[in-house]
Amino acid sequence: MRKNVMPLKEAIANIYKDELNFIDDDNKKYFNDVLDHSKDILEYYKSFESLVKGLIDLNENNTNSNANEVMKTLTIVAAIFIPLSFIAGLFGMNFENMPELKWEYGYYYALGGMSLISVGMIIVMKVKKWF
């Protein structure tokens, strides 16, 4: 739109400014009106362009906000399960000299410890208002 209106405005302005002697007095007001209308169209274009840019920026901000919420959720889940994976990996090793493996209730202690770690991390995250 701007590509078409800008040259038109310049051409009409040049005609109105330079060729005023060749235009009838009755037609001068029409050239002036066309020049004003072309200026108005350019102003409308600029305002619509800024509105569209604002809407595009708003859409990008909303998209980024949604992505940040997803990343936050995934980070919380990962923060809870990383220590649990470490404990499960430690007890999953096949060593003979692991005293915890000989305990009668070692399995339940490990599960209880994992549960306490998970609940503790959730409480800390809630206190810090991370979610």
CATH number at residue 14: 1.20.58.340
The answer to whether residue 42 scores a pLDDT higher than 80 is yes
Residue the block writes with tokens 């549960």: 115
Q: Which residue has the higher pLDDT, 90 or 64?
A: 64
pTM of the shown model: 0.55
Output the DSSP codes for 80-129. Answer: HHHHHHHHHHHHTS--S--HHHHSTTHHHHHHHHHHHHHHHHHHHHHHTT
- Structurally, the chain folds into a number of domains equal to 1
Structural domain span for residue 120:
2-127
pLDDT at 34: 87
Residue the block writes with tokens 């066309």: 34
The answer to whether residue 65 scores a pLDDT higher than 90 is yes
**Region 17-42: what's the mean pLDDT?**
82
Contact 69, 103 (CB under 8 A): no
Could you give the CA distance from residue 8 to residue 29 in angstroms, rounded to a whole number? 17
